[in-house]
Amino acid sequence: MDKLPELKEGLVYALDASEYGGPIEDYKWRQAYVMGFRLAVIQAWGGGPIPGGKNTYCLDQLSGARKAGLMTAIYFVLPANTTIQTHLFIPVLKQAAGPEYEYIKFVAVDIEGDKPLHPLDPKARLHDAISHIEDKPVVIYTSRNMWSKVIGDVTGFEQYALWDACYDKTPELDTNWVPYGGWKQRAMKQYKGTTDVGGISADQCGKPRTAFPAR
Protein backbone atom coordinates (compact mmCIF):
# COMPACT_ATOMS: atom_id res chain seq x y z
CA MET A 1 0.00 0.00 0.00
CA ASP A 2 1.83 3.08 -1.28
CA LYS A 3 1.30 6.57 0.07
CA LEU A 4 0.36 9.09 -2.59
CA PRO A 5 2.85 11.79 -3.63
CA GLU A 6 2.65 15.12 -1.84
CA LEU A 7 0.38 17.68 -3.51
CA LYS A 8 0.85 21.41 -3.85
CA GLU A 9 -0.14 23.30 -0.73
CA GLY A 10 -3.91 23.72 -0.55
CA LEU A 11 -4.83 20.50 -2.40
CA VAL A 12 -5.99 17.12 -1.11
CA TYR A 13 -6.73 13.74 -2.64
CA ALA A 14 -10.32 12.57 -2.99
CA LEU A 15 -12.02 9.46 -4.30
CA ASP A 16 -15.50 8.62 -5.50
CA ALA A 17 -17.12 5.24 -5.07
CA SER A 18 -20.41 3.72 -6.20
CA GLU A 19 -22.63 0.69 -5.84
CA TYR A 20 -20.14 -1.20 -8.02
CA GLY A 21 -17.79 -1.22 -5.02
CA GLY A 22 -20.30 -3.16 -2.94
CA PRO A 23 -19.91 -3.29 0.84
CA ILE A 24 -16.54 -1.81 1.84
CA GLU A 25 -14.87 -3.02 5.01
CA ASP A 26 -13.78 -0.38 7.55
CA TYR A 27 -10.12 -1.33 7.29
CA LYS A 28 -10.15 -0.43 3.57
CA TRP A 29 -11.33 3.08 4.38
CA ARG A 30 -8.55 3.33 6.96
CA GLN A 31 -6.06 2.23 4.31
CA ALA A 32 -7.36 4.92 1.96
CA TYR A 33 -6.83 7.51 4.70
CA VAL A 34 -3.28 6.31 5.32
CA MET A 35 -2.59 6.54 1.57
CA GLY A 36 -3.53 10.22 1.72
CA PHE A 37 -7.19 10.45 0.75
CA ARG A 38 -9.26 12.99 2.67
CA LEU A 39 -12.63 13.07 0.89
CA ALA A 40 -14.98 10.30 -0.25
CA VAL A 41 -17.83 11.15 -2.64
CA ILE A 42 -20.38 8.34 -2.66
CA GLN A 43 -22.98 7.59 -5.32
CA ALA A 44 -26.47 7.88 -3.84
CA TRP A 45 -28.59 7.31 -6.96
CA GLY A 46 -28.02 6.27 -10.56
CA GLY A 47 -24.91 5.06 -12.29
CA GLY A 48 -24.72 1.70 -10.54
CA PRO A 49 -25.07 -1.85 -11.92
CA ILE A 50 -28.78 -1.14 -12.38
CA PRO A 51 -29.01 2.37 -13.93
CA GLY A 52 -31.63 4.55 -12.31
CA GLY A 53 -31.45 2.84 -8.94
CA LYS A 54 -30.46 3.75 -5.40
CA ASN A 55 -27.05 2.71 -4.12
CA THR A 56 -28.07 0.29 -1.40
CA TYR A 57 -24.56 0.51 0.10
CA CYS A 58 -24.54 4.32 0.29
CA LEU A 59 -25.19 4.62 4.03
CA ASP A 60 -22.55 2.06 4.99
CA GLN A 61 -20.00 3.52 2.57
CA LEU A 62 -20.51 7.02 3.95
CA SER A 63 -20.31 5.81 7.52
CA GLY A 64 -17.14 3.79 6.93
CA ALA A 65 -15.40 6.67 5.21
CA ARG A 66 -16.34 9.21 7.88
CA LYS A 67 -15.29 6.94 10.76
CA ALA A 68 -11.91 6.50 9.07
CA GLY A 69 -11.41 10.28 9.11
CA LEU A 70 -12.44 11.23 5.57
CA MET A 71 -14.84 14.04 4.77
CA THR A 72 -17.87 12.76 2.85
CA ALA A 73 -20.24 13.91 0.11
CA ILE A 74 -22.76 12.30 -2.24
CA TYR A 75 -23.52 12.46 -5.94
CA PHE A 76 -26.44 11.44 -8.12
CA VAL A 77 -26.79 10.97 -11.86
CA LEU A 78 -29.48 13.28 -13.24
CA PRO A 79 -31.02 11.32 -16.14
CA ALA A 80 -32.49 12.69 -19.34
CA ASN A 81 -36.28 12.94 -19.34
CA THR A 82 -39.16 14.64 -21.11
CA THR A 83 -40.19 16.43 -17.92
CA ILE A 84 -38.39 19.32 -16.28
CA GLN A 85 -39.61 18.30 -12.81
CA THR A 86 -37.02 16.58 -10.60
CA HIS A 87 -38.45 16.98 -7.10
CA LEU A 88 -38.67 13.23 -6.47
CA PHE A 89 -34.89 12.81 -6.45
CA ILE A 90 -34.02 14.61 -3.23
CA PRO A 91 -36.05 12.39 -0.86
CA VAL A 92 -34.40 9.35 -2.47
CA LEU A 93 -30.93 10.83 -1.94
CA LYS A 94 -31.63 11.52 1.71
CA GLN A 95 -33.05 8.03 2.15
CA ALA A 96 -29.93 6.49 0.59
CA ALA A 97 -27.60 8.48 2.85
CA GLY A 98 -29.77 8.03 5.95
CA PRO A 99 -28.36 9.62 9.13
CA GLU A 100 -25.03 10.18 7.36
CA TYR A 101 -26.67 12.94 5.29
CA GLU A 102 -26.11 15.27 8.22
CA TYR A 103 -22.33 15.00 7.82
CA ILE A 104 -21.91 15.32 4.05
CA LYS A 105 -20.16 18.43 2.75
CA PHE A 106 -21.99 18.77 -0.57
CA VAL A 107 -24.33 17.14 -3.10
CA ALA A 108 -22.94 16.72 -6.61
CA VAL A 109 -25.24 16.59 -9.63
CA ASP A 110 -23.70 14.20 -12.17
CA ILE A 111 -24.22 15.47 -15.73
CA GLU A 112 -23.24 12.86 -18.30
CA GLY A 113 -24.84 10.83 -21.07
CA ASP A 114 -25.31 10.72 -24.81
CA LYS A 115 -28.43 12.87 -25.22
CA PRO A 116 -29.84 16.19 -23.95
CA LEU A 117 -31.11 16.30 -20.38
CA HIS A 118 -34.46 17.51 -21.76
CA PRO A 119 -35.53 17.59 -25.43
CA LEU A 120 -36.46 21.29 -25.34
CA ASP A 121 -34.91 22.88 -22.25
CA PRO A 122 -32.09 20.89 -20.63
CA LYS A 123 -30.94 23.99 -18.77
CA ALA A 124 -34.32 24.28 -17.01
CA ARG A 125 -34.20 20.63 -15.91
CA LEU A 126 -30.81 21.13 -14.29
CA HIS A 127 -31.94 24.38 -12.65
CA ASP A 128 -34.96 22.53 -11.25
CA ALA A 129 -32.79 19.77 -9.76
CA ILE A 130 -30.49 22.28 -8.09
CA SER A 131 -33.45 24.25 -6.68
CA HIS A 132 -34.51 21.24 -4.59
CA ILE A 133 -31.11 20.90 -2.88
CA GLU A 134 -31.74 23.50 -0.22
CA ASP A 135 -29.61 22.39 2.73
CA LYS A 136 -26.22 21.53 1.21
CA PRO A 137 -23.77 23.20 -1.16
CA VAL A 138 -24.21 22.08 -4.79
CA VAL A 139 -21.40 20.84 -7.01
CA ILE A 140 -21.74 19.96 -10.71
CA TYR A 141 -19.84 16.94 -12.01
CA THR A 142 -19.32 16.82 -15.76
CA SER A 143 -16.70 17.19 -18.49
CA ARG A 144 -16.27 19.57 -21.36
CA ASN A 145 -17.53 16.96 -23.83
CA MET A 146 -20.47 15.78 -21.70
CA TRP A 147 -21.62 19.29 -20.86
CA SER A 148 -21.92 20.10 -24.54
CA LYS A 149 -23.88 16.90 -25.26
CA VAL A 150 -26.22 16.95 -22.27
CA ILE A 151 -26.77 20.66 -21.53
CA GLY A 152 -25.46 22.42 -24.63
CA ASP A 153 -23.11 25.31 -25.08
CA VAL A 154 -24.74 27.36 -22.34
CA THR A 155 -23.68 29.19 -19.21
CA GLY A 156 -25.55 30.19 -16.08
CA PHE A 157 -24.24 27.58 -13.60
CA GLU A 158 -20.81 29.01 -12.88
CA GLN A 159 -21.88 29.98 -9.34
CA TYR A 160 -21.71 26.27 -8.49
CA ALA A 161 -18.38 24.54 -7.98
CA LEU A 162 -17.24 22.46 -10.97
CA TRP A 163 -16.01 18.91 -10.50
CA ASP A 164 -14.44 18.28 -13.89
CA ALA A 165 -13.59 14.88 -15.36
CA CYS A 166 -10.23 14.96 -17.16
CA TYR A 167 -8.31 11.69 -17.15
CA ASP A 168 -4.80 13.08 -17.52
CA LYS A 169 -3.49 11.18 -14.48
CA THR A 170 -2.41 14.29 -12.57
CA PRO A 171 -4.38 15.74 -9.64
CA GLU A 172 -3.16 19.29 -10.29
CA LEU A 173 -6.29 21.35 -10.91
CA ASP A 174 -4.94 23.71 -13.57
CA THR A 175 -3.26 21.10 -15.76
CA ASN A 176 -5.05 20.62 -19.13
CA TRP A 177 -7.81 23.01 -18.14
CA VAL A 178 -9.82 24.61 -20.96
CA PRO A 179 -12.72 26.81 -19.74
CA TYR A 180 -16.29 25.90 -20.67
CA GLY A 181 -19.83 26.45 -19.45
CA GLY A 182 -18.92 29.80 -17.93
CA TRP A 183 -16.49 28.26 -15.40
CA LYS A 184 -13.12 29.94 -15.15
CA GLN A 185 -11.54 27.16 -13.07
CA ARG A 186 -12.17 23.74 -11.59
CA ALA A 187 -13.02 23.23 -7.94
CA MET A 188 -12.27 19.52 -8.20
CA LYS A 189 -10.81 17.23 -10.86
CA GLN A 190 -11.41 13.55 -11.53
CA TYR A 191 -8.02 12.69 -12.98
CA LYS A 192 -8.01 8.89 -12.98
CA GLY A 193 -10.75 6.36 -13.72
CA THR A 194 -11.63 3.25 -11.75
CA THR A 195 -8.63 1.92 -9.89
CA ASP A 196 -7.80 0.10 -6.66
CA VAL A 197 -7.59 2.45 -3.68
CA GLY A 198 -6.57 0.45 -0.63
CA GLY A 199 -8.89 -2.33 -1.77
CA ILE A 200 -11.70 0.06 -2.80
CA SER A 201 -12.80 0.25 -6.44
CA ALA A 202 -12.91 4.02 -6.99
CA ASP A 203 -12.02 6.98 -9.19
CA GLN A 204 -9.27 9.32 -7.99
CA CYS A 205 -9.67 13.09 -7.71
CA GLY A 206 -7.89 16.20 -6.55
CA LYS A 207 -9.60 19.11 -4.78
CA PRO A 208 -8.76 22.21 -2.74
CA ARG A 209 -8.13 21.65 0.96
CA THR A 210 -10.82 24.18 1.86
CA ALA A 211 -14.49 23.22 1.77
CA PHE A 212 -16.67 24.14 -1.19
CA PRO A 213 -18.49 27.44 -0.65
CA ALA A 214 -22.00 27.37 0.72
CA ARG A 215 -24.83 28.38 -1.55
Split at pLDDT 50, 70, 90, the class of 115 is very high
Q: Is the pLDDT of residue 7 over 80?
A: no
- Return d(Cα 104, Cα 62) in angstroms, integer: 8
- CATH number, domain at 69? 3.20.20.80
pLDDT digits (tens, 9 = 90+) for 139-162: 999 999 999 999 999 999 999 999
* Range from 21-25, 50-54, 76-80 carrying the lowest mean pLDDT: 50-54
How does DSSP assign 165-211, residue by residue? Answer: E--SS---TTTT---BTTBSS-SEEEEEEEEEETTEEEEEEEEESSP
Asked whether residue 65 is domain-assigned, the answer is yes
Q: What is the mean pLDDT of the chain?
A: 89
Asked whether residue 132 is domain-assigned, the answer is yes
Asked whether residue 161 is domain-assigned, the answer is yes
pLDDT digits (tens, 9 = 90+) for 28-65: 999 999 988 999 999 999 865 555 688 999 999 999 99
Q: What is the pLDDT of residue 46?
A: 82
Asked whether residue 139 is domain-assigned, the answer is yes
Asked whether residue 52 is domain-assigned, the answer is yes
Asked whether residue 5 is domain-assigned, the answer is no
Contacts of 210 (CB under 8 A, 6+ apart): 10
Q: How many domains does the chain have?
A: 1
Asked whether residue 4 is domain-assigned, the answer is no
Asked whether residue 1 is domain-assigned, the answer is no
Q: Which domain holds residue 202?
A: 11-208
SS3 125: helix
Q: Is the pLDDT of residue 207 over 90?
A: no
Q: Is the pLDDT of residue 88 over 90?
A: no
| Conformation bin of residue 76: beta by default, left when phi > 0, alpha when psi is -120 to 50 | beta
